[in-house]
């Protein structure tokens, strides 16, 4: 729809042009055929072509909004910054590696590493009733075919900070 001021005026201009065309065609049929009315009409149409061409050349292109969605699949189980965690090494405040530390979430759910339970080489703690405890860290593995953990104190090299805060009292 051409805009001459606004869309309503453009629609009115089209309506007037159609009505004038029909009237001119009907008038031209009854009047002796001369070339003058057609020449005048061609000049008028040529004059109206200029604003239409300017309008079409300056017409705003529709704005295409581009949205980029980055969707990542959540890492199943225990993760840190999106990377899966396969073990945790807890240390005491004095820098001693702790063994068989049971970890839980804030809601009380055991903090387990998925898939590690099915590893036959994993040393799994058990309750007195025989149920597996899979939230004990660090996870240790038996040497193949021995049932023994050769290096229970093995851990990644870490720099333990010196702690200045007094320890919390422990209820007994």
What confidence tens digit (pLDDT) does each residue in 91-135 have?
Answer: 998 899 999 999 999 999 998 876 666 788 889 899 999 998 989
Length of the chain: 172
pTM of the model: 0.53
**3-state secondary structure (DSSP) of residue 132:** strand
Which bin fits 137, alpha (ψ -120 to 50), beta or left (φ > 0)? beta
């Amino acid at each position: 729809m051409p805009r001459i001021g606004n869309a309503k005026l453009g629609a009115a201009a089209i309506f007037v042009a159609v009505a004038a065309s029909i009237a001119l065609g009907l008038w031209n049929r009854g009047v002796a055929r001369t070339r003058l009315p057609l020449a005048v009409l061609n000049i008028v149409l040529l004059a109206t072509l200029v604003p239409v061409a300017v309008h079409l050349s300056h017409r705003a292109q529709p704005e295409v909004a581009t949205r980029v969605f980055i969707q990542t699949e959540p890492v199943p189980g225990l993760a840190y910054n999106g990377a899966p965690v396969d073990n945790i090494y807890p240390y005491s405040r004095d820098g001693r590696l702790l063994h068989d530390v049971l970890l839980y979430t804030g809601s009380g759910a055991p903090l387990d590493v998925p898939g590690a339970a099915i590893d036959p080489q994993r040393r799994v703690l058990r309750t007195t009733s025989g149920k597996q405890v899979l939230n004990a860290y660090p996870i240790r593995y038996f040497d193949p075919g021995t049932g023994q953990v050769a290096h229970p104190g093995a851990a990644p090299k870490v720099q333990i900070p010196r702690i200045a805060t007094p320890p919390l009292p422990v209820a007994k």
